[in-house]
Structure 1
Amino acid sequence: IIIMWKILIFYLFLELIHGNYTDPIYPISNPCLAILDRLSDMSSAFLNCAVSRARPFKLCEGCVDTYARLQDLVGLLDLTYSDVDRTITCKRFLESYDSIQVVAQLISFVHNIWGLSYCDNCIKNYKDTNGTTDYSLTNHTIKFVQKKLNFDLCIFNATGRMVPIIPIDLNVTLNTNVCTVRTTVYNEINEFFIQITRDNKNGVCMDIV
C-alpha cells in the first residue's frame, strides 16, 4: 500500500510539472521532463520487480537491470541542464517545482530497498550501456550458487524430488538415512554461508539467504 501511494504521488507530481510554461528558461521541450518521464517509468518498473521477487527473494539479480537504468537516470540529473545557458541543472529544475521532494524521496526509497537487500554484496560492476545492463556476480555468490546446485542435485538424486522454493524441514520431509548420507554436502554449503557472513560484516546479500 505504501508503495502504491508513493507511485500515485509521483504521478501527480508529473502532471503538475508538465505545465505549459511560457518562461523561456523552462521551455516546453525541456530535456529534464524527458528524464523525469523515464525516471517515473524506471521507478515503477523497479518497484514492481521488487514486489514480484519478494517471495522467493531474488530481487538483486532479478531487478538489477531496472536498478542500473534508474541509477543512470539519477546521474543525468546533475549532468543535464534545463536552460540553453547551462546554468540550471535538471536536479535544481525539478527541486524548484517539488516542494515536498517527491522525486528525491522516491529515489531514496528505491535506494533503501537495494541497500537493505545488500545487493552490492552479490552483484558488482552493474551499469546501463545504451539500454543494455551489464553486471557480474561476486566470487562468493558464484561459489555459493554452485554449492547450492550441488546440494539440490544431491537431494534430487536421492529422492527424485526437487527441493521446493519454500523452506522445508528435511528431517520430516526426507528419509533420515538420506539426510545422514548427504550431511557432508549440507555442511559444506552451511560452512561456506557462515564464511560469507564473516566476510560481509555489513550484511549478506538477501538473494542467497
Structure 2
Amino acid sequence: MSFWQAVSSAKSVASVELAATAVNPLAGEPSNTQQLIEQLWPIAVYFVLLMVLLAIMLGLSYALGPKTRRRHTHTPYESGIVAADAPKSRFTNHFFLYAIFFVIFDLETIFLFAWVIAFDDVGIAGFIEASIFIGILLVALIYVWRIGALQLKHKHLPAREQLRISAAQANAGAHNNDHQQPRNQQPQTNKAGH
C-alpha cells in the first residue's frame, strides 16, 4: 500500500465517521446541533478576529504611547494652539435638530427596508400599513419643513450681539429715566433748600 492510498483510505474512514456523528440516525438528516454550528461559525470567527484586532491595537497604543505623565497630558488638544482665555460666545445648537431628524428618519428607513424584504409575504395588508407609515413620514417632513427647522439660518442673534443690544437698551433706559419726569411734578429739590 502506497502513501497516497493510505492517506485516501484514512480520509474516507474519517469522512464516514464524521458523517455518522453528524447524521441523525432516525431522520437521516444532519442534527440540529450540526446545523447550528454551520450557521454560527462565521459569527464566532468574526468575534475572535475582533478580539485579536482589539488586543493588537491596545498593545500597540501602550507600547508606542508616551510613558511619562506631564502637566499637559490630560488637557484637550485643539490644533496645537494654546487657548488664550475662556470662550466668551456661545455656540447655537441649531445642528442638534439635524441630528435628531437624521436619527428619526433613518430609523424609519430601516423599517421600510424590512418591509421591502417581506413584501411578497405581507400581501395587500402590509402594503396598506406601509403606505400609512410613509404618509405619516411625509406629514412629519412637511411639518418640519413648514416650521423652518430645515433652513440653515439662525433664528436668533448670536449671544454677543444679544448682549450688546440689551446693554444698549439698558443704558438708554437709565438715561431716559434720569431726564424724563412726569409733567405734573416739580423737580425734586434738596430739603436743605439748595
Q: TM-score, normalised by structure 1?
A: 0.28
Kindly indicate which of the two structures has a greater share of residues assigned to strand: 1
Q: TM-score, normalised by structure 2?
A: 0.30
Q: Identify the structure with bigger relative contact order (alpha carbons < 8 Å, sequence gap 6+).
A: 1
